[in-house]
Amino acid sequence: DENAKVRWMMPGMILSRSQGGTFHYAGCGCTGQVPRLPSLVDAGVLKEDCTHRRLRVLYLVPHHNLTGGMKMLVQQMAILTQRGHHVIAAFRAAHGRVLPPWAESLVVASEMLISPSETYECFLRRTRRHWDVCAVGYFTQLAELDNFWGPLLYWEQGHEHLFAEGRDAQTLRWDLLFHHTMLRTPVALAAVSSYTAETLALQFSRRCAVIPNGIDCTTFYPANQLDSDSVSPDGSRPNAFGGNVPTKPDGTATLGAGWRVLLVGNPMQAFKGWDVALEALRIVSASIPELVVTWICQQQPTLPALPYPVQFIVDPPQSQLPDCYRTDQDLLLFTSRFEAWGMPVLEAMASGLPAITSSCYGVEHFAIDRQNCLLVPARDVAAVAAAVIELLRDGTLRYALAVRGRQTALDFSLKKAGDALEGALLRTSSFFSRMSWQQAMDLV
């Protein structure tokens, strides 16, 4: 298909989807040709039968860091276990835990430590009779699997290289590796969002199914029941989502010590746009001096002098995270430059907390401006500040976004995510069970 081929434009430049841009560049290692063997895998897996059966699923755990991507891998293992599949978790380390220490509630069928001296390819060959399909946790692991032909599924959840960033001296080699694995490694792919799937198709001619994130709406839920039929014109209905009570058209608060804005994420990750958030809130505080900011983060940053207080919730247990969303907050502010998904936005929606989010690609899989959130341009301090002021002063809008956000979250259930995950694993296992390496090479 001519339209599926990689499009080449200016080296090192990425444009918007509507402009059909590219992030290939001189030296990225790509040839401009459709990858024949990976394309064969894509086509075969997508049309494969996915008749339900119990699977033995091996997860290659990439690291123990508390990241959104790692949280979703843990969630997947839990979903598959609950559905009766035999889940095996493997982690490369000399000793210690296989699963992250913060995933205390996850129990899998078995755990395996991989020796630091053993490659992933050798480990998979050695243990092949014990599993039906392997879920690869991160693209860097694929570097050791170039020569492995078997039922591997890589779920692309996003990273800086998917958005044409990460090309400084320290991270350039990982960018080159990402290009290499997408065009050379015969692994089945899945994407977390429609944007991610479109990017893999446009930049690498890779086709894949979408496995969306899901959220447990029995864990993330509003402080009180949301009822869209009981909103008065001036927004005077008592706040049902855990923040202040608007009593006038201008949103004057009568409870608490000011208006509360929630930030969620790692302050060490600059792409999250913390500089934009903090500067926008500086502007907001000039109009709304009662502003109070809460920041849920993995480690507490050192901040410059700010005209508003910032209260930190550092590394809370994952079991306590839902309470942080629904307790005394008025809105979530999310200002990433890029995301393949943007899980804090969906967590806020599930909790009945209205959200302001930047237009950071993947989040638009579920976020719709003025329907279930406010969308603002990434990096635009003035637009962010204006949106925060508008939402804090408009009780009716806050409540409407809370209601519709909750409805959105209910649409992204764990069942929906589990069905998509199960289907991708079943198709991957089935395709590789009937297609040998030699048969594949004869076809390409």
Does residue 274 sit in the same domain as residue 168?
no
Does residue 151 sit in the same domain as residue 171?
yes
pLDDT of residue 257: 56
Q: In sequence order, which residues have a C-beta less than 8 Å from that of residue 386 and are 6 or more positions away?
A: none
Does residue 16 sit in the same domain as residue 92?
yes
Does residue 404 sit in the same domain as residue 419?
no
Measured CA to CA in angstroms, residue 36 lies from 42, 186, 296, 320 at distances of: 10, 9, 45, 47
Does residue 35 sit in the same domain as residue 160?
yes
Does residue 24 sit in the same domain as residue 164?
yes
Query: For residue 90, is it within any domain?
Result: yes
pLDDT of residue 250: 40
Q: How many domains does the chain have?
A: 2
Query: For residue 145, is it within any domain?
Result: yes
Kindly report which listed range (182-196, 215-229, 277-291) carries the lowest average pLDDT score.
215-229
Domain that holds residue 109: 2-214+415-443
Contact 203, 181 (CB under 8 A): no
**237 pLDDT above the threshold of 70:** no
How far apart are the C-alpha atoms of 320 and 247, rounded to whole Å? 30
Question: Which of 354, 329, 358 is closest to 408 using CA atoms?
Answer: 354
How far apart are the C-alpha atoms of 174 and 197, rounded to whole Å? 20
Helix (H, G, I), strand (E, B) or coil at 371: coil
pLDDT of residue 23: 75
How far apart are the C-alpha atoms of 433 and 426, rounded to whole Å? 11
Query: For residue 222, is it within any domain?
Result: no
pLDDT tens, position by position, 241-273: 444 433 333 434 333 458 999 999 999 999 999
Rg (alpha carbons) of the chain, rounded to whole number: 23
From the number of C-beta atoms within 10 Å of its C-beta (0-12, 13-18, 19+), residue 346 rates as buried
Does residue 204 sit in the same domain as residue 318?
no
Measured CA to CA in angstroms, residue 84 lies from 60, 418, 422, 428 at distances of: 19, 12, 11, 18
Q: Note the maximum CA span of the chain.
A: 73
Does residue 17 sit in the same domain as residue 109?
yes
Query: For residue 223, is it within any domain?
Result: no
Task: List the CATH number of the domain containing 143.
Answer: 3.40.50.2000
Query: For residue 221, is it within any domain?
Result: no
Does residue 268 sit in the same domain as residue 404?
yes
pLDDT tens, position by position, 397-437: 999 999 999 999 999 999 999 999 999 999 999 999 999 99
Does residue 207 sit in the same domain as residue 312?
no
pLDDT of residue 22: 72
Query: For residue 17, is it within any domain?
Result: yes
The average confidence (pLDDT) of the chain is: 88
How far apart are the C-alpha atoms of 195 and 338, rounded to whole Å? 11
Query: For residue 56, is it within any domain?
Result: yes
Question: Which of 285, 303, 296, 241 is closest to 263 using CA atoms?
Answer: 296
367's tokens: 């976020």
Does residue 83 sit in the same domain as residue 207?
yes
Phi, psi (rounded to 5 degrees) for 340: -80, -20
Query: For residue 219, is it within any domain?
Result: no
Question: Which of 159, 160, 154, 210 is closest to 182 using CA atoms?
Answer: 154
Does residue 34 sit in the same domain as residue 6?
yes
More confident residue, 161 or 277: 277
